[in-house]
Structure 1
């Protein structure tokens, strides 16, 4: 019988970061025990859940992942109602699932890299923080990450973002659908902007890593029905074949330290509210950018009265995302969004420039989600029936589109996760998050991204447009365990090792010192691979 009370390496979380690190350790011959708060389910179960949802619920990416009482999902709600207790000028309303495989179940698959300038905001523009190392240091790990996940992207260096790279993508880019192709022509010819193919963890035209080629279901969010898109769950059986032990429905609630202030064990609850202890030599906490700082704060003890890894008082601070505004345009010309993946291209050049000393950069994205579900409700609200309803749905499906304005944000210690007085089903504190995107982002919207969006709508020939009334979050959770060289102002070092505990690693989005404008997952995986090198070395020495 497998011993689940001890392992040389204990990993909390089975999302993409935990899975990537586990595989590097297993390949080096190091045993691994993984603990997952939520259940382990099949793709078929998720797809069936989605099919059976009412139409109005299909727009929420986590509706087909039923929450478990012991591992609740966050819901956008006011204090005292949902899992997240939200305050501040802007809502940090996030969507993620606590399931084996993590939130890559319902991600779009987008895999932008940071640029060299993105990692040097303070030295170049006098704002934010610099990373603890340069792009050149991270680039080999980006390349490894692209081959590990299976990234498709353009062969032409002029279309690659950024162009500084050591290897081509493992697969060619997917073709644009008609809406993206027309959008690309319009912004190029009328505005001189370049809408380039997205690097994405999706198989293009061939199988890769035992996953089939994308067949254009346009259902990447909330689940790829055939598994052409990478998700952490696809690796779990492979990890077990290599010797990993994976416990699901195991909610880690305490990190235990010893007299030397090393991590000695973690404690988890099962669904019967029984607590269990797992000891080890090395510990990796990879349960996402909200759950990780929450766990560190919950684990405060006599040696660490403000929480584990928190002598700097930075755990839970500097919470970041990509604040976004959506512009919905109505067009005379049919664009027909919805052919191919839901995100397949973007305008990234607008994220770079000396203006970043004053305001945020922005990335513009043609949302390639099929429009029929969105427009059906509007047509019904008009009271249309029969043939008129059918014609209106067809017209608006073809002739509407969403353009997303996604902004970078600066780390701010006041954007903070703390422990709420409200408790969950297990009696554990819910996370409370205070959040304000700040003047850096608001100034960008007012002076930069909104004017560009208006130019784009005019170039597209829009006959109507609306903007979302507030900043929405992109579900890219960053910053709560921020990286830096100075232990007084950061939580982890260059290897994502906690400054305060030599045998504790906190890899992933929480370590990111800047957000840039593109999605964070590829950078998280690159950081996981970089951390893995240090973890393997330390485990072998031990």
Structure 2
């Protein structure tokens, strides 16, 4: 065996160099285990990404600054659908994600919510969906680890300290303060019992981890230009300093099992179409909840005819996200939104109650996007020009409000990902997505639409525009395709994040989540990846 071949082996092989993989690698390396990490895409340079965004024509496309490599394509829908995801369901699933070192947290909003305890007990409390096989109390230590790794600011009096998610230690940083406009909306919505709180953010409110405090650039999506907002490449770099062997441009297409049906190796194809084999003792899949499914389903053999970890046909099922509806309007006073984080606060007191047995829970983000470009394009199309156009943009941009709801999606085994007969340029199968919205979500929309209208009236709103019932945008929170459970007939992995079918195969990230709640799923996905790392450390002892 050559020296090069010997180097493609480690105690733990991680597939996926995003935040879930990076955080797990840091933990594993700190315990003395060797770690090799494979990433389909290449390294990403922050300065280059900022330059791409500055020069790009499509400012409303968060994927535009990110280079797409032929060996690691990603879905893109602006200016047109590039066909990477084959839509087969009655509802489109327009997920967009980055394949590169650091993953999709390069262009996320930075919201770092925990679940509340009731989110993990839907069957016991409300007679719907399923309970998690672990409790909130069991997950809480891993939440703390994730918040410290990512650098999360949060809490404070307006949030009641913990947002309804009990804590055993304070946040790493104090919460970012609400801006003037948010404070005014908070005061005016309060009469409706809609409580606006400054949300937990993986974004610095002070210097932390050698990163500066947020200075309010307001383009967190698609890229934070100063590094105040966390992204997964920061954890990967930290892991490299601890000895991580990172192999970029490595597209994993096969998981190899041995006679005992344990995982022996993974195979990848590089940018030159050369195939490599990587061996290890333990394997942790932390590619996103769609790409991991693709790898597992491609990995068929005599022992696993349906793919690795898929003896009961559960891989790829129970796909969830957070269907979103929106309301925009012009308030009756200047608010001057558009500086600071793009989603700094939310209406958070609509997340839980007995109603969850009948209709979706709701969380409403109060957005802080700078509306000038959007309004300019809108009013030019309507025929405004000259001074009249300038005056209207100035007046309305100062008063513009955007509210966006996130609805709870329940697990449905028919919402799923399967392999397509179509292949990409490197011969890797594309994915077919089967997706539909239940009446449970539509009933949540009906309640939310009423809340939107109340909010508009409470602030003297005009020019109100609402999303239609049944027409929802995707929130890019890919959840549930590898779900954790006690029964192998309805789940992919156990409470240790260990595959039911293979003792040395583990999963991290948002796909492990049995239910989706109403909050951004990244923090929970990282916490589950740290739980998986903990399971590997104990197995290796």
Does structure 2 retain, via aligned residues, the 8 Å contact 1:110–1:198?
Answer: yes
- Runs of 5+ unmatched residues, structure 2: none
Aligned length: 535
Tell me what 1:173 maps to.
Answer: 175
What is the alpha-carbon root mean square deviation over aligned residues? 1.6
- Per the TM alignment, residue 77 of structure 1 is displaced from its structure 2 partner at its CA by 8.9
Aligned equivalents of 2:387 and 2:161: distance in 1? 44
- Per the TM alignment, residue 238 of structure 1 is displaced from its structure 2 partner at its CA by 2.2
Aligned equivalents of 1:180 and 1:256: distance in 2? 53
Tell me what 2:220 maps to.
Answer: 220
Aligned equivalents of 1:78 and 1:225: distance in 2? 24
- Per the TM alignment, residue 144 of structure 1 is displaced from its structure 2 partner at its CA by 1.9
1:452 and 2:451 correspond: yes
Does structure 1 retain, via aligned residues, the 8 Å contact 2:507–2:529?
Answer: no
1:483 and 2:481 correspond: no
Q: Normalized against structure 2, the TM-score is what? A: 0.96
Aligned equivalents of 2:202 and 2:11: distance in 1? 31
Does structure 2 retain, via aligned residues, the 8 Å contact 1:177–1:338?
Answer: no
- Per the TM alignment, residue 394 of structure 1 is displaced from its structure 2 partner at its CA by 1.5
Aligned equivalents of 2:161 and 2:417: distance in 1? 38
Does structure 1 retain, via aligned residues, the 8 Å contact 2:131–2:514?
Answer: yes
Tell me what 1:390 maps to.
Answer: 390
Alignment of 1:42-53 (within 5 A): 42-53=45-56
Q: 1:365 aligns to what SS in structure 2? A: strand
Tell me what 1:350 maps to.
Answer: 350
Q: 2:325 aligns to what SS in structure 1? A: strand
Shift in CA distance, 78/63, structure 1 to aligned 2, threshold 3 Å = closer
Q: 1:535 aligns to what SS in structure 2? A: helix
Does structure 1 retain, via aligned residues, the 8 Å contact 2:317–2:482?
Answer: yes
Aligned equivalents of 1:87 and 1:465: distance in 2? 33
Aligned equivalents of 1:403 and 1:79: distance in 2? 26
- Per the TM alignment, residue 390 of structure 1 is displaced from its structure 2 partner at its CA by 2.0
Does structure 2 retain, via aligned residues, the 8 Å contact 1:150–1:202?
Answer: yes
1:32 and 2:31 correspond: no
Q: 2:277 aligns to what SS in structure 1? A: strand
Q: 1:288 aligns to what SS in structure 2? A: coil
Aligned equivalents of 1:269 and 1:324: distance in 2? 37
Alignment of 1:207-286 (within 5 A): 207-286=207-286
Q: Deviations over 1:132-161 (max 9, x none)?
A: 011111112112221221111123362531
Aligned equivalents of 1:425 and 1:393: distance in 2? 45
Q: Deviations over 1:440-491 (max 9, x none)?
A: 1011112x21111111111121112112341111000000001101112110
- Per the TM alignment, residue 78 of structure 1 is displaced from its structure 2 partner at its CA by 13
Does structure 2 retain, via aligned residues, the 8 Å contact 1:179–1:368?
Answer: no
Q: 1:525 aligns to what SS in structure 2? A: helix
Aligned equivalents of 1:79 and 1:329: distance in 2? 28
1:105 and 2:89 correspond: no
- Runs of 5+ unmatched residues, structure 1: none
Does structure 1 retain, via aligned residues, the 8 Å contact 2:42–2:249?
Answer: yes
Tell me what 1:19 maps to.
Answer: 22
Q: Deviations over 1:366-410 (max 9, x none)?
A: 111111121110122133333222222212211222100110110
1:120 and 2:117 correspond: no
1:135 and 2:139 correspond: no
- Per the TM alignment, residue 235 of structure 1 is displaced from its structure 2 partner at its CA by 2.6
Does structure 2 retain, via aligned residues, the 8 Å contact 1:76–1:84?
Answer: no
Q: Deviations over 1:213-252 (max 9, x none)?
A: 1111111111100000111112333222211110111110
Alignment of 1:180-199 (within 5 A): 180-188=182-190, 190-199=191-200
Does structure 2 retain, via aligned residues, the 8 Å contact 1:367–1:404?
Answer: yes
Shift in CA distance, 396/79, structure 1 to aligned 2, threshold 3 Å = closer
1:463 and 2:477 correspond: no
Shift in CA distance, 80/139, structure 1 to aligned 2, threshold 3 Å = closer
Does structure 1 retain, via aligned residues, the 8 Å contact 2:19–2:232?
Answer: yes
245-254 or 391-400, which moves further after superposition? 391-400
Aligned equivalents of 1:362 and 1:136: distance in 2? 24
524-533 or 313-322, which moves further after superposition? 524-533
Does structure 1 retain, via aligned residues, the 8 Å contact 2:360–2:408?
Answer: yes
Aligned equivalents of 2:503 and 2:336: distance in 1? 54
Does structure 2 retain, via aligned residues, the 8 Å contact 1:155–1:168?
Answer: no
Alignment of 1:508-527 (within 5 A): 508-527=509-528
Q: 1:142 aligns to what SS in structure 2? A: helix
Q: Deviations over 1:323-348 (max 9, x none)?
A: 00011112232222212100111111
Does structure 2 retain, via aligned residues, the 8 Å contact 1:268–1:276?
Answer: yes
Q: 1:466 aligns to what SS in structure 2? A: strand
Does structure 1 retain, via aligned residues, the 8 Å contact 2:11–2:280?
Answer: yes
Aligned equivalents of 1:422 and 1:234: distance in 2? 35
